[in-house]
Structures are given as structure tokens and as C-alpha cells.
Amino acid sequence: MAMPLDQVTEVDEMKLSEEQSRPKPLTRGRVIWRRLRSSTQFWAGGCVLIAIVLFALVGPLLWPIDPTTRDYFALNQPPSLAHPFGTDTLGYDIFARTMAGLQISLIIGFVAGPLATLLAGFLGSLAGYVGGWSDKVIAWFIDLLLVIPAFFILILLFPFFKGSNWIVMTFYLGLTGWMIMAQVIRSQTRSLREREFVKAARFMGFGTWSVVRRHIVPNVASLLIIDAVLGIGAMILAETTLSFFGFGVQAPAISLGVLISEGNTAAATRPWLFVFPAGLLVTLLLALSLVGDALRAGVGRSSRGARGSSASRNRSRRRRGCAAAAAGGA
């Protein structure tokens, strides 16, 4: 029996109103961003991090004193209006040198950290998905690098690195800081390759790289993003440690580690040589840690948010079906 025209119109209007009032489906990225927006840690760490980056990039353009310029009339002077961070024994402006050193430390961190993450994602997913001898070789290589500390390797290779550009140090840190995350990605990939959607992709004829790129990497991308952010701080700290002991950035280049090493001996008598670079380093690492913790919390809770949005969509579909059935029965 055909429905009257007015009832058909009423059902169509009901469906239209339901579709308009239905919330947009939340993707994993939207769930994570929603949680980050409500995170105090994320905004506090992000604002401090942006301020430090602007200080390093814009500050040297506005500050009239060059980090290589010496003021012979202001040797070992404490902080003043002319020299906000004071001067050292040779008359160099610590404020200008701190900005210059911060630039190199940030470049090392923002290059070496993501580089290590890319290596971890590539080798970990390859070993976990392909398996066989490739998995055994990569796992053996990872275990070997974990057994032999990167600091010990650098000491052995230091005669070859001495006098080289700090860019060599950047790539060395990136090439020796990926092993732990690679193990995590390898373990996650080994569990993902047994999932139905990965098996279906293989049965449909997709190659290894296509499956890894389309199905494996997107499912471990959240871990890689967190590792990249936290890796920036880890690489900056590693560079500072190596430079402090004389194995990192070499003169005439400047980094936070070099400044801390130079001011360490005078920390008791001329504290401004040590306090300002060290304080800036601690603030930078704290900001990166806050952003990384906020990302970890947002990613960890996003799966529950995605399941909640899926359940709400299912309830909405059931309500529309019941309404249509009731209208049809009438």
C-alpha cells in the first residue's frame, strides 16, 4: 500500500533534519586535535617553544652586536643595558653568543630528531612486515648498536671528526638515535600484518611498499610524531653533552653546549656566563617535554574518542530507522 504524499514529505523532512543535526564523523586527527586544544600542557609548551624559536631566528636580526665582535672596554662585565647577559673574558657579548648558539642547537635538534624517527619508521616497519632474513638482519643490527654506546663510537671516530663542520655531528646523532623506536615500530608492525585489512591488501595484489605506505605507516604515525617531538629535545641534550666534554660542536662554531662548557669553570665567580645558556637549555627542553607529553596523552585517548563517535553514529542510524518504520506503519 502506497504512503500518502503528506506522510512521505514528513518522512523526508525528518531524514533531512536528522542529517543536518548529525555531527560530522570525527577522524583520528580531529580527535587528537580536539584533545590538544583543551590541554594546558600543549599550549604552555607550544607558546614557550615558539618564543624560543623566534628569539633564535629574529633576535640576531634586531640585536646590533655581532657574536664575533669584542668589546675591549667591557671585559667580564655583569649583565647591563648594553649587554643584557654580560660579557666574557674576551669581551664577547653573551646575549649575542647565546642567540647564535641557540640557532645551531635548534638546527641540530630539528634535523637529527626527525631523521632518527624516519630511520626508525622505515627500518622498523620493513623488518616487522617482511620478516624472514630481513627481520633477523635488522634486529641483529639494532641489538649491536644498542650494545655499543653511541658515545663510545664517537670517541673512537673523533680523530676523523675533529675539525669537521657541525653538520657532520648533526647527521651522526640522527644515524645513532633510532634503534629503540625502531624496535617499537617493528613490534607494532608484526601485530598489524596479521590484521584483516593488511591481509586483504596483500590478497588484492598490492606490493610490499604499497602495503607499508598505505596501511602500516598510517597506523604507527602517531608513535612516530611523538618520537619526533621528543627526539628533538633528546638530540639537543645529546649535542650539549658531547659539546660539554669537547666531542661535539667545535670552535669557532657556537652552540649551547659550547657556551655551557665555557662558562662552567666560572659559574661561581661569574655566574652569568653559565646561568643564561643553561637556563635557556632547561626551558627549551621543558617546553619540548610538555608538548610531547600532551601529544602522548592526546594520542593515547584518541582511540576511545573515535570509538565514542562511531557509537553515536550507530545510535543516530538506529533512530532514523525507527522513525522511518514508525512513519511507514502509520
pLDDT at 183 over 80: yes
Instruction: Please report where in the chains the cell 631523521 appears, as a residue.
Output: 115
Please confirm whether the linkage preceding 84 is cis (ω < 30° from 0).
Answer: no
**In this structure, what C-alpha cell is assigned to residue 36?**
590538544
Categorise residue 206: left if φ over 0, alpha if ψ from -120 to 50, beta otherwise: beta
Q: pLDDT grade, residue 317 (50/70/90)? A: very low
Question: For residue range 318-330, what is the model confidence (pLDDT) as tens digits?
Answer: 454 444 444 444 4
- CA nearest neighbour of 168 among 232, 248, 103: 248
The one-letter amino acid at 30: R
Where do the structural domains in the chain lie, given as residue ranges?
37-304
The DSSP secondary structure of 137-177, one letter per residue, reads HHHHHHHHHHHS-HHHHHHHHHHHHTTS-HHHHHHHHHHTS
The Cα–Cα gap between 150 and 58 comes to 34
- Counting other chains too, the contacts that 87-92 makes at CB distance below 8 Å and 24 or more residues apart are 88/262, 88/263, 88/270, 88/273, 92/67, 92/68
The Cα–Cα gap between 41 and 326 comes to 49
pLDDT at 206 over 50: yes
The one-letter amino acid at 292: G
Neighbours of 264 (CB within 10 A): 12
List CB contacts of 75: < 8 A, sequence separation 6 or more. Answer: 87, 89, 90, 91
What is the reported pTM?
0.79
Pick the range with the lowest mean pLDDT from 114-118, 181-185, 210-214, 318-322. Answer: 318-322
Q: How far is CA 156 from the centre of its chain?
A: 30
Q: Are 210 and 201 in contact (CB under 8 A)?
A: yes
The Cα–Cα gap between 237 and 173 comes to 11
- What is the rounded average pLDDT for all residues in the chain? 81
Alpha helical stretches, state H, the chain = 5-21, 28-37, 40-62, 94-130, 132-147, 150-161, 166-175, 179-192, 196-203, 208-211, 217-244, 256-264, 272-329
Question: For residue range 18-74, what is the model confidence (pLDDT) as tens digits?
Answer: 555 555 555 666 777 777 788 888 899 999 999 999 999 999 999 999 998 888 888
Question: For residue range 65-103, what is the model confidence (pLDDT) as tens digits?
Answer: 999 888 888 888 999 998 999 999 889 999 999 999 999
pLDDT score of 5? 46
- CA nearest neighbour of 295 among 26, 28, 39, 27: 39
Choose which CATH entry (3.40.50.720, 3.30.830.10, 1.10.3720.10, 3.20.20.70) describes domain 37-304.
Answer: 1.10.3720.10
pLDDT higher for 259 or 307?
A: 259
